[in-house]
Amino acid sequence: MTGRRAHLDALAMTVMVGLCILWGLNQVAAKLANAGISPVMQAGLRSAGAAPLLWAWSAWRGIPLFGRDGTLMAGLAAGLLFAGEFALIFWGLEYTTASRGVVFLYTAPFVVAVGMHVLVPAERLNRWQTIGLVLAFLGVVAAFAETLALPSGQQWLGDSMLLVSAVMWGATTVLVRVTRLGKASAEKTLFYQLAVSAALLPLASLALGEKGFTDPTPLVWALLAWQAVGVAFASYLAWFWLITRYPATKLSAFSFLTPLFGMVFGAWLLDERITPTLGLAMVLVAAGIWLVNRKKA
């Protein structure tokens, strides 16, 4: 494995923007597929479809997935966090709105920042970088501000679930960075998560009382296949490859772009409404990312 970089280079930034575009588009794909397959079941099937692809890819490249290298416990923990994150996201959205959920979910980069600050002093953010992280988060809040309100009824329960899922997302990133997984191949790190989530998420779907398969049309199957190949296999593999080579907090700052791209794709493909504050949100997120990745003086 090549040495770890202290800063993001052009390659890392380009890949991260591409991943955020892909993940934003996936928000639309998942919404459309929900019409035929329940959300948590869909997430489990996505992992189940991606795992064999990853296995075949690793075999073709000669990358071992089952060798004893001391990553088993950390890998299983990462898989449990990964599965729990998605289960709580979809369960929480039964009680709260998607716009509120996005705001709580994208507190995850702060979890990464705190974890890395405590566990990896070399990746601590300075004052201006911390301000940048806050600015980027405020950009997400601004994008969805018109649909936010004080919680009513059981919304607080859904909000809490999305917040816990954000902690799990951030904790997974930190876990990969600070354990033996940080020195393992991206393929093996991802395989743990796909295998565990493929086993647990369908069971979680049954436990949550989901209907499972409602009307799986050819379009729904095509969208599920896209999520398995394009998202769970290709994009997550690229993400874990980045984590093993670049500062995790600086990479996580780019994730604030994802809900904004999701909003744009939703308007384009689903005729969803774009709030007037989207332009301000883009500026805040871009400024925040620039400050986070600004080299220390």
In this structure, what is the dihedral angle of CA atoms 114, 116, 120, 124, given to the nearest 10 degrees?
-70
* 244-283: pLDDT as tens digits: 899 999 999 999 999 888 888 888 887 877 777 888 888 9
pLDDT of residue 263: 83
Cβ proximity of 155 and 97 under 8 Å? yes
Instruction: Give the contacts of 224 (CB within 8 A, at least 6 positions apart).
Output: 33, 37, 42, 45, 46, 49
d(CA 82, CA 100): 21
Q: What is the mean pLDDT of the chain?
A: 89
What pLDDT digit, counting tens, does each position of 74-86 carry?
A: 999 999 999 999 8
Do residues 242 and 251 lie in contact, with contact meaning Cβ atoms separated by under 8 Å? yes
Among 47, 83, 63, 93, residue whose Cα is nearest residue 210:
93
| CA nearest neighbour of 180 among 34, 58, 69 | 69
The predicted model gives 66-76 an average pLDDT of: 93
State residue 1's pLDDT score: 44
Name the nearest CA neighbour of 292 among 104, 126, 173: 126
Q: Is residue 2 scored above 60 in pLDDT?
A: no
Q: How far is residue 256 from each of residues 74, 114, 120, 156, 196, measured CA to CA in Å? A: 27, 17, 22, 23, 27
Q: From CA 216, how far away is CA 238, in angstroms rounded?
A: 29
Output phi, psi for 37, to 5 deg. Answer: -135, 130
Q: Which residue has the higher pLDDT, 84 or 1?
A: 84
Phi-psi region of 212 (alpha: psi -120 to 50; beta: other; left: phi over 0): left
Distance CA 58, CA 64 (A): 7
Encoding tokens for residue 151? 């919680």
Tell me the domain boundaries of the chain: 10-292
- pTM beyond cutoff 0.75: yes
Q: Are 259 and 143 in contact (CB under 8 A)?
A: yes
